[in-house]
Amino acid sequence: KAGVTQTPRYLIKTRGQQVTLSCSPISGHRSVSWYQQTPGQGLQFLFEYFSETQRNKGNFPGRFSGRQFSNSRSEMNVSTLELGDSALYLCASSSGPGGETQYFGPGTRLLVL
C-alpha cells in the first residue's frame, strides 16, 4: 500500500504570494490532518478534514485554509505569505474519526523569502 504523498516536496516563495500544497492520503483513509513544523514552535496542528468537511481547526490565522475532495485528497492554501510561514508542512492520514494511527507524509518544505 502506498504511503501518504505530498507535493511539491520543496517550494520557495516570496512574501505576499500565496501557495497551495497537496496531500494524497493512504488508499482507503478518509481523514487528513495538516501540521506545521518549525524549529521554534515544533509540530502544531493546523486542521483536519473528514469526508470533505473540516472537523477540527488549530490556532492559525485565516490565511491558512484547506479543503478535501471527494477522493479524500486534500489541499492547504496559505495566502499573503509571511517570512514566519517558512516551515515543513506535514500531512497525515488516518482511517477516520476514532482511527488511532496517523500516518505522516514526508512533508513539503516551504521557504518564504
Partner 1 sequence: QQQVKQSPQSLIVQKGGISIINCAYENTAFDYFPWYQQFPGKGPALLIAIRPDVSEKKEGRFTISFNKSAKQFSLHIMDSQPGDSATYFCAASRDQGAQKLVFGQGTRLTINP
Report the b/e string of 6-35 with b at 16+ CB within 10 A: beeeeeebeeeeebebebbbbeebbbbbbb
d(CA 69, CA 52): 6
d(CA 28, CA 113): 37
Draw the binding track, 15-54, toward partner 1 (x: CB under 8 A; -: no contact): ----------------x-x-x------xxxx--x-x----
CB of 69 to partner 1, least distance (A): 18
Residue 86 binds partner 1 (CB under 8 A): no
Question: For residue 102, how many other CB atoms are within 10 A of its CB?
Answer: 18
Which SS3 state, helix, strand or coil, does residue 83 take?
helix
CB of 70 to partner 1, least distance (A): 19
Given the complex with partner 1, which of 108 and 112 has the nearer CB atom? 108
Residue 4 binds partner 1 (CB under 8 A): yes
Phi and psi, residue 20, nearest 5°? -125, 125
The one among 11, 60, 73, 99 contacting partner 1 by CB under 8 A: 99
Q: Which residues contribute to the site for partner 1 (CB under 8 A)?
A: 4, 31, 33, 35, 42-45, 48, 50, 55-56, 58, 90, 92, 94, 97-107
